[in-house]
Structures are given as C-alpha cells and as structure tokens.
Amino acid sequence: MPRARSHITYAEQTAAAGQEQGSGCLSGFMIPPLAVLLVSCLLVAFVFRLPAPTPISGMKNTASVPASGLAPFFRPEVQHWGDSIQRWAAASSLDPNLVAVIMQIESCGDPRARSRSGAMGLFQVMPFHFTVTDNPYDPDTNALRGLAYMARSLQAANGDAHLALAGYNGGLGVIARAEWTWPAETLRYVQYGAPIYESALRGETQSAALDEWYAKYGVSLCQQASENQ
C-alpha cells in the first residue's frame, strides 16, 4: 500500500526561510529547492510506478471439455459421436460418460465393428438382442438395444457402475457373484472401464486407465473406427 505524502505549504516555506541559518542542520535557503525536488521525485515515481505482480495461484489445466459434455480424454473416434451419445444416454436414462466408456472399450466408435463371438456395432451387441427387422449396424438401433441392456445391468447392480459394467460384458448373472469367479475378459473389462468412468466423474482431463487400454488393445481398433466413420 503506498504511504501518504507530506506536503510543505507556502506558509511553512516562508517561515523556514526567515529562520537563522545556524538554527538547524539545513539552512533556510535550501528548504524550498529540496521540497520541489521531493515533490518531483514522488510525481515521477507515481507516473512510472511498476504494476503490482500478479499472484501465482498454481498451474491450471487448459484442456477444455468438448461441447458434447463428454470427458475430454475419450478418443476422437468416440468424441465423433458426442451429440448422439447425449441423445442415446437421455433416452436410456444413463450418464453420457458411462455410455462413452462402453463405446470406447467395445468399438472405439466403429459402427461396423464385429467380434469373433458375433457381437456387432458401436456397442458390440449380441445377435439375440435384435429383432428380425433390426439393422444391427444402424447406430441408433445398436444404441437402443445395447443401452437398454446396460440400463438393466445398472438396475440389477443397484446403481453400482463397477458391477453394471461387469454385467454388460459377462451377463447379468455375474453381478451377484464374487469377482474372483468372473471370466478373465470381464475382469479386464472392469479393470479399465471402472477407472475410466471414475476419472470422468471427477472431472479429470486425462485417464491413465484409458491410455493404458489404448496402448494395449485400442490402437488398431481406433484406427479401424476412424476409417469407418
């Protein structure tokens, strides 16, 4: 905070000038020039004063949340479906980021994906979930059938996303079983899916679990998705 400046009035200067020269350390004729010099220095300091430094409150992460509202760490091939994910999630009463987790692991956003077991489309839905008139590779149809099953799984798991992911991959029957009895594929599915979703819930801009999944399993899958979008 700047301190208040003292002012030497004209009357004070006149009185000081009439004093005897030996009455103080400074002679009377030196006081007015000194006062002018003091005022001038203060004016210069005021005009050219440096701005106060801005406090450093810590580094901020500049990664922005996409317009879709999905966590920014999802792969671009999944972000491609952002608006549709929001619509599908609302229709099935699911969290959009949970829907994005399923798409990320299942197909990385490839609408033409097909597994060795016969699962199809964006959410890798098994054939017996479709009706005879369904097109399994139509994104809206695939989302309708796949996310209806996820909603059932979440309900069976009493809202526990960890267990619901296991039910989506391994069937609703695994939800009531001890984890050590789950198939290896289901354990791996939850190993990656649960922490990815937790990172999204915490508002994080990076997911170590997703990065590891991508490096081990997702490179070719996401490349294929990019080609088919």
d(CA 65, CA 215): 23
Q: Is-contact 54 39, C-beta < 8 A?
A: no
Residue 212 annotated among the catalytic residues of the structure: no
Q: Is-contact 170 186, C-beta < 8 A?
A: yes
Instruction: Name residue 113's amino acid.
Output: A
Q: Is-contact 122 113, C-beta < 8 A?
A: yes
Task: Please tell me which residue in 12, 20, 77, 106 is annotated as part of the active site.
Answer: 106
The three-state secondary structure class of 72 is coil
Which residue is associated with the tokens 């081990």?
Answer: 216
The CA distances from residue 221 to 73, 110, 116, in Å, are 17, 8, 14
Q: Which residues are catalytic?
A: 106
